[in-house]
Each structure stands twice: as structure tokens, then as C-alpha cells.
Amino acid sequence: MATFTLPKNSTIGTGKTHKAPAGATKVKNFKIYRWDPDSGENPRNDTYEIDL
């Protein structure tokens, strides 16, 4: 079986975490894949905590 190696600029990094408001009782986490080709940064996963 073949082994493939991805280039360094394509590895997904840890992004920002946006917390739910204080006192949130029912919280759901959403991870959003973000990539801006103009910035030159690696792709990242941002996490959003939403109060349902």
C-alpha cells in the first residue's frame, strides 16, 4: 500500500475557540474549516460553542 505525505502548508491547525455566553445551559460545539489562500497561513478548524 502506498504512503502519501502532505506538504507542510496543507496540514490543518487548531484555530480560535469562541466560547458560549456565561450561564449557557445547553451548549453545542461546531467546528468550522477555515482557509484563506491570500493570507498564506495553513488551514485551521475554528470552534464555536452555541447555546441552544
Tell me what pLDDT residue 17 has.
95
- The reply to whether 4 falls in a domain is no
> Could you please report the per-residue DSSP string of the chain?
-------GGGSPEEEEEEPPPTT-SSEEEEEEEE--TTT-PPPEEEEEEEE-
- The reply to whether 8 falls in a domain is no
Please report, rounded to a whole number, the percentage of residues in the chain having pLDDT higher than 70: 100
Tell me what pLDDT residue 51 has.
93
- The reply to whether 2 falls in a domain is no
Residue span of the structural domain in which 32 resides: 13-51
- The reply to whether 7 falls in a domain is no
- The reply to whether 5 falls in a domain is no
- The reply to whether 28 falls in a domain is yes
Residue 37 has pLDDT above 80, yes or no: yes
Tell me what pLDDT residue 39 has.
87
Tell me what pLDDT residue 40 has.
84
Q: How many structural domains are present in the chain?
A: 1
- The reply to whether 6 falls in a domain is no
pLDDT in tens, 7-19: 877 788 889 999 9
Mean pLDDT of the chain: 90
- The reply to whether 47 falls in a domain is yes
